[in-house]
Amino acid sequence: MKWALAALCLILLAPLALVDVPPLLDYPNHLARATVLAFGGSDPILSKMYAPHWTIIPNLGTDLILPPLLQILPVHVAGRIVVGIVILLPVIGTVAYSRATFGTRSAWPFASGLIAYNATVLLGFLNFVAAIGIALLLAASWIAWREQYPRSTVALAAIGSVALFFCHLVGLVFFYLLTAAYEMELLWFHRGRRNVVLMRLVAVLPLMAVPLGLYLSSALAPMATETEFTPIAEKTRQLLFPFANYNLPLDIATGCIVVGFLIACVATRRCRVTPSSGLALLLVAGLYLVSPFAFKGTFFLDTRITIMLAFLLFAAVLPTLPRLATYSAVMIFIALFSIRIAVVGSAWYGHRHDIAGIRAAIATVEPGARVVIASVSPEEAPAYWRDGPSSRMISYGIRVDYHLPALLLIERRAFWPFLFDNPSQQPVVTLEPYRALADRAGSIADSGALAVPGKVDLCGFDYLLLLEAGGERDVMHFAADRLLPLFQSDIAALYRVRPAACTP
């Protein structure tokens, strides 16, 4: 089993060898912020744009790991190391949780490799995905060692809870649910022994006390509790997220095969579920039903819970098939896994052309320049998007190219106005006058808005970078009264902002 796990991990890491900037939506933005944290204090250009803002923030995973790595490794090597760790953690955590829960080795948790490249990975939610893996590992240690080494296990879990708090709060909640499910089973077993029940309840207090104090001291606690709920139809559709990468029919087929296999196992009584693992599944499923889409500035909240639930399908359930049926199932899942990895690898290999196009477009941008971003949206050029590279959009229909211009900061030391710098979520602030520029830019404008004089304020910017320039019909004469074309590739075109573009 150890060799099988090692082989699985190597295969999962293979796509990272195909491109130096993986096509994960938020990842370039995280890497840009890590660049600021690592070099901003000593870089005379970046120090004018940004300043570190360290405080108690429950979303610091990559911000704590990447900057030190950047001091000793090239930026894109360090970035891919972190991405690789993030991809592997939930799979390794699933194997560990299954072994601790059922006390036996099984090939079934290895099938979680099918969802290693899920939608939240491709959306670049690195801290959250890492937190899933850490939560599963901590829960596995709690189940395996709680009765044999109670003090050491409680101490480890208390330290791990603090680590999870700083990695991602949803991961901390996941760990609490997994631990609560196990403790509820033991409390029921000891229900007639009040002293044992009391001692077990007291033992979990250290797991919650420090994280609760940290939360109350954080900038997130006083934020207004603004929530946005997902319509029922969309909430149901989100159940595809754990299986979503680049090919919708394949993703739907994968989900149907996994769920169908488990239903068949349950129907034929060939499926083991312990009281605690079954309760964990119910608790996470219930959390998904009541969770909003957005809460206190965090989006895709309920979507993230589907990922937790999906990994539990491989961790908290154990199919027990006859030998021949087991062999057949293993062959089917290996074939399905191979196809899915090939799809990811193909998309990432093709993404090299987009990275090369972006780099060619920004090659002449000087350090310190100010660059605003626009884009040709799928609504403006549906045929272009339909026939474009698969790496630009996941099968669910969400674009993952928005933050590619972060290479302006990472590689050119130029300013682009979309660095993640929310004081309740990131340890960086944007300094004036760049803060004002970022506020005026707002969000990435559609190319159609730029075609209307005065609709998009270009004042204060030196360049405009147009994403998906191949979808613009007359890219070399685009907004010619305000923009001077300098370079064009399929993924991006660069323009110098003419003085006349500065609207009063």
Domain edges within the chain: 55-320, 350-501
Q: What is the pLDDT of residue 266?
A: 92
Q: What is the pLDDT of residue 318?
A: 96
Please say if the pLDDT value at position 504 is more than 60.
no
Hunting for tokens 């699985």 — which residue is that? 8
Q: What is the pLDDT of residue 199?
A: 84
Residue closest to 333 by CA, chosen among 347, 348, 306, 313: 313
Least confident of 28-37, 331-340, 363-372, 444-453: 444-453
Please say if the pLDDT value at position 175 is more than 90.
yes
What is the rounded CA–CA span in Å between residue 368 and residue 414?
A: 5
Complete edge-to-edge strand list for the sheet that includes strand 371-375: 445-446, 371-375, 463-467, 492-497, 483-488
Q: What is the pLDDT of residue 503?
A: 56
What would you report as the CA-atom Rg of the chain, rounded to the nearest whole angstrom? 24
Q: What is the mean pLDDT of the segment spanning 482-490?
A: 93
Q: Is 212:56 a contact under the CB 8 Å cutoff?
A: no
CA angle 345, 346, 351 (to 5 degrees): 95
What percentage of the chain exceeds 70 in pLDDT? 99
Please say if the pLDDT value at position 499 is more than 90.
no
Q: What is the pLDDT of residue 243?
A: 97
Backbone angles phi, psi at 399, to 5 degrees: -70, 145
Tokens of 250: 């394949």
Q: What is the mean pLDDT of the segment spanning 374-398?
A: 92
Give the model confidence (pLDDT) of 24-66 as tens digits: 999 999 999 999 999 988 899 999 999 999 999 998 999 999 9
Hunting for tokens 């106005």 — which residue is that? 417
Q: What is the pLDDT of residue 325?
A: 86
Residue closest to 417 by CA, chosen among 358, 451, 464: 464
Q: Which residue has the higher pLDDT, 454 or 223?
A: 223
Q: What is the mean pLDDT of the segment spanning 353-372?
A: 97
Please say if the pLDDT value at position 452 is more than 80.
no
Q: What is the mean pLDDT of the segment spanning 492-497?
A: 95
Q: How many residues can be counted in the chain?
A: 504
Residue closest to 58 by CA, chosen among 166, 144, 143: 166
Q: What is the pLDDT of residue 404?
A: 97
Q: Is 139:178 a contact under the CB 8 Å cutoff?
A: yes
CB count in 10 Å sphere of residue 294 = 15
Q: What is the mean pLDDT of the segment spanning 2-18?
A: 95
Q: Which residue has the higher pLDDT, 299 or 149?
A: 149
Backbone angles phi, psi at 60, to 5 degrees: -110, 10
The bridge status of strand 445-446 relative to strand 371-375 is parallel
- Rounded to 10 degrees, what is the CA torsion of 373, 379, 382, 386? 70
Q: What is the pLDDT of residue 20?
A: 96
Burial of residue 35 (CB within 10 Å: 0-12, 13-18, 19+) is buried
pLDDT confidence bin for 396, thresholds 50/70/90: confident
Tell me, what amino acid is at 179? T
Q: Which residue has the higher pLDDT, 36 or 326?
A: 36
Residue closest to 46 by CA, chosen among 496, 420, 411: 411
What percentage of the chain exceeds 90 in pLDDT? 78
In order, the DSSP letters of 92-132 are: HHHHHHHHHHHSS--SGGGGGGGGTT-HHHHTT-HHHHHHH
What one-character DSSP code corresponds to residue 293?
A: S
Residue closest to 342 by CA, chosen among 83, 15, 4, 81: 15
CB count in 10 Å sphere of residue 228 = 10
Q: Which residue has the higher pLDDT, 24 or 450?
A: 24
Between the alpha carbon of residue 82 and those of residues 61, 201, 409, the distances in Å are 10, 36, 19
Largest CA distance in the chain: 82
What are residue 159's DSSP bridge partners? none
pLDDT confidence bin for 272, thresholds 50/70/90: very high
In order, the DSSP letters of 419-439 are: ----TTT-SEEEPTTHHHHHH
Please say if the pLDDT value at position 22 is more than 90.
yes
What are residue 495's DSSP bridge partners? 464, 485
pLDDT confidence bin for 203, thresholds 50/70/90: confident
Tell me the pLDDT of the chain averaged across its residues.
93
pLDDT confidence bin for 383, thresholds 50/70/90: very high
What is the rounded CA–CA span in Å between residue 346 and residue 390?
A: 9
Tokens of 177: 């649910």
